[in-house]
């Protein structure tokens, strides 16, 4: 798969390293055999299942998108719980992609598609109002002030998410970083394309009823950091 060079993209990358360690033979094999079958292709690619954004949107009335799925635990479990929903995950970290492929293979998940790259490439390519739900869960907080411009939750990203969400579609945000929690809410309020569903403090301090907890979340709680959960819906009209 070929993607535009980073230097040619209209945004700063929101991730660090692409790989941590050498893949096991089993995971390396899945990268060669399974990934080509379920990878999202931004352009038609002769010789492979197409899986382009337009084709995916036409074929699936219900699509959920996870931006930065990490190890893929959340996405795999959501796909298993909701076989009628196509779950697309974007993740530039190759070790995470390989781990999700392992899960997809072991659990026989047929409703997963993967873009092993920056999610904004897909957000720009998806048709208008084609996605039912978007997840951005525990993204890299980029805590240093000089790096905050790399945070994935930004006005530019929210513009892209608003465009591809169906009217009334959901955007779910979560973080265990206090400063990023404030940043996220400020970005959403400034954008004005989404309605925050919280009515009381407990609403954003408590995970949704259908929440999938991951090892990362359990670890952060064990370290004394309490996550926040923002449930937002796309406004049907802007005032």
Residue-wise pLDDT tens digits, 86-118: 999 999 989 999 999 999 999 999 999 999 999
User: What are the CA-CA distances from residue 28 to residues 3, 92, 156, 160 (Å)?
Assistant: 20, 16, 34, 33
**Pairing mode of beta strands 165-175, 228-234:** antiparallel
Output the pLDDT for position 17: 55
**Pairing mode of beta strands 165-175, 86-90:** unpaired
Output the pLDDT for position 64: 98
For the chain, the structural domain boundaries read: 20-234
- Kindly tell me if the per-residue pLDDT of 143 is higher than 90: no
Output the pLDDT for position 44: 76
- Kindly tell me if the per-residue pLDDT of 6 is higher than 90: no
Output the pLDDT for position 126: 97
Which position among 45, 95, 140, 203 bears the catalytic label?
A: 140
Residue-wise pLDDT tens digits, 209-223: 999 999 989 999 999
Residue 159 annotated in active site: no
Residue-wise pLDDT tens digits, 144-196: 888 788 899 999 999 999 999 999 999 999 999 999 999 999 999 999 999 99
- Burial of 61 from C-beta contacts in 10 A (0-12 / 13-18 / 19+): exposed
DSSP output for 89-143: EE---HHHHHHHHHHHHHHT--SEEEE-S-HHHHHHHSPTT-EEEEEEES-----
State the Cα–Cα distance between residues 158 and 137, nearest whole angstrom.
Answer: 14
The CATH number of domain 20-234 is 3.40.50.150: yes
């Amino acid at each position: 798969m070929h993607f535009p060079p980073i230097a040619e993209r209209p945004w700063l990358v929101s991730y660090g390293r692409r790989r941590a360690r050498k893949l096991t033979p089993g995971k390396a094999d899945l990268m060669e055999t399974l990934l080509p079958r379920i990878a999202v292709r931004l352009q038609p690619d002769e010789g492979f299942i197409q899986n382009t954004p337009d084709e995916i949107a036409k074929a699936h009335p219900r699509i959920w998108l996870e931006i930065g799925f990490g190890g893929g635990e959340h996405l795999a479990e959501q796909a298993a719980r909701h076989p009628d929903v196509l779950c697309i995950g974007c993740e530039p970290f190759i070790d995470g992609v390989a781990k999700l492929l392992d899960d997809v293979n072991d659990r026989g998940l047929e409703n997963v598609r993967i873009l092993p790259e920056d999610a904004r490439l897909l957000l720009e390519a998806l048709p208008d109002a084609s996605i039912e739900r978007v997840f951005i869960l525990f993204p890299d907080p980029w805590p240093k002030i000089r790096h905050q411009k790399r945070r994935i939750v930004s006005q530019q990203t929210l513009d892209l998410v608003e465009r591809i969400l169906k009217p009334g579609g959901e955007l779910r945000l979560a973080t265990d970083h206090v400063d990023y929690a404030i940043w996220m809410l400020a970005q959403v309020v400034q954008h004005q394309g989404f309605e925050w569903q919280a009515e009381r403090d407990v609403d954003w301090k408590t995970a949704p009823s259908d929440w999938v907890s991951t090892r990362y979340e359990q670890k952060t709680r064990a370290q004394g950091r309490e996550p926040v959960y923002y449930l937002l819906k796309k406004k049907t009209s802007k005032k």
